[in-house]
Structure 1
Amino acid sequence: MTEQSRRSLLRLGGLAAAGVFTGCLDRNPDEGEMDADPPTARATRTERPPAETFEAVGTTGRRPAATPSGDDLRQRMDQRGGPTDLQSDPVVAAIDIEGDAGPAPYIFTPTVLWAETGATVTWDVDGGAHAIAAYHPDNGRTLRIPEDAPSFVSGRLDVGDTFSHTFETPGVYNYFCQPHEYHGMVGVVVVGEALAGPGTVDGSNLQVEVAGEHLERLLALADIETTPPTTDSPGPTSTVSSTATTTAPSTTERR
Structure 2
Amino acid sequence: MNRRVYLAAAGTSVAASLAGCTSALNLFDDSSSTPCSDDDCDIGMSRNSFLPEEYEATVGDTVVWMNTSGADHTVTALEDGIPDDAEYFASGGYDDEETARADWHDSMGGRIGPRQTFEHTFEIPGRYVYICEPHFEPGSMSGVVIVSE
> Does TM, scored on the shorter chain, surpass 0.5?
yes
Match of 1:66 among 4, 7, 27: 27
Q: How does 1:99-110 map to 2 (within 5 A)?
A: 106-110=48-52
Q: 1-side partners of 2:40 and 2:85: how far apart?
A: 22
Secondary structure at 2:137 match in 1: helix
Match of 2:67 among 125, 129, 133: 125
Q: How does 1:79-94 map to 2 (within 5 A)?
A: 91-94=42-45
> 2:43 touches 2:65 (CA, 8 Å); kept in 1?
yes
TM-score after normalising by structure 2: 0.61
**Aligned residues with identical type, % of pairs:** 37
Unmatched runs of 5 consecutive residues or more in structure 2? 1-25, 92-109
Q: CA offset at residue 90 of structure 1? A: 5.7
Q: 2-side partners of 1:157 and 1:69: how far apart?
A: 16
Q: CA offset at residue 126 of structure 1? A: 1.1
1:210-244 CA distances to partner (integer Å, 9 max, x unpaired)?
xxxxxxxxxxxxxxxxxxxxxxxxxxxxxxxxxxx
Match of 2:46 among 95, 112, 115: 95
More strand by share: 2
Q: 1-side partners of 2:141 and 2:66: how far apart?
A: 15
Say whether residues 1:192 and 2:140 are aligned partners.
no
Q: 2-side partners of 1:159 and 1:133: how far apart?
A: 17
Q: 2-side partners of 1:148 and 1:121: how far apart?
A: 18
Q: Equivalent residue for 2:77?
A: 134
Unmatched runs of 5 consecutive residues or more in structure 1? 1-64, 78-87, 97-105, 137-142, 194-255
Q: 1-side partners of 2:85 and 2:53: how far apart?
A: 23
Q: 1-side partners of 2:55 and 2:74: how far apart?
A: 18
Q: CA offset at residue 116 of structure 1? A: 1.1
Q: 2-side partners of 1:172 and 1:123: how far apart?
A: 17
* One-letter amino acid of the structure 1 residue matched with residue 83 of structure 2: P
Q: Equivalent residue for 1:144?
A: 81
Q: CA offset at residue 89 of structure 1? A: 9.8
Q: Equivalent residue for 2:116?
A: 161
Compare CA radii of gyration and give the structure with the larger one.
1
Residues 147, 189 of structure 1: CA spacing in aligned structure 2 closer, same or farther, 3 A cutoff? same
Residues 180, 151 of structure 1: CA spacing in aligned structure 2 closer, same or farther, 3 A cutoff? same
* One-letter amino acid of the structure 2 residue matched with residue 134 of structure 1: A
Say whether residues 1:176 and 2:131 are aligned partners.
yes
TM-score after normalising by structure 1: 0.37
Secondary structure at 1:191 match in 2: strand
Residues 175, 69 of structure 1: CA spacing in aligned structure 2 closer, same or farther, 3 A cutoff? closer
Q: Equivalent residue for 2:94?
A: none
Q: 1-side partners of 2:30 and 2:90: how far apart?
A: 27
Q: Equivalent residue for 2:57?
A: 115
Secondary structure at 2:66 match in 1: strand
Q: 2-side partners of 1:68 and 1:146: how far apart?
A: 33
Secondary structure at 2:49 match in 1: strand
Computed over aligned residues only, the root mean square deviation of the Cα atoms, in angstroms, reads 2.4
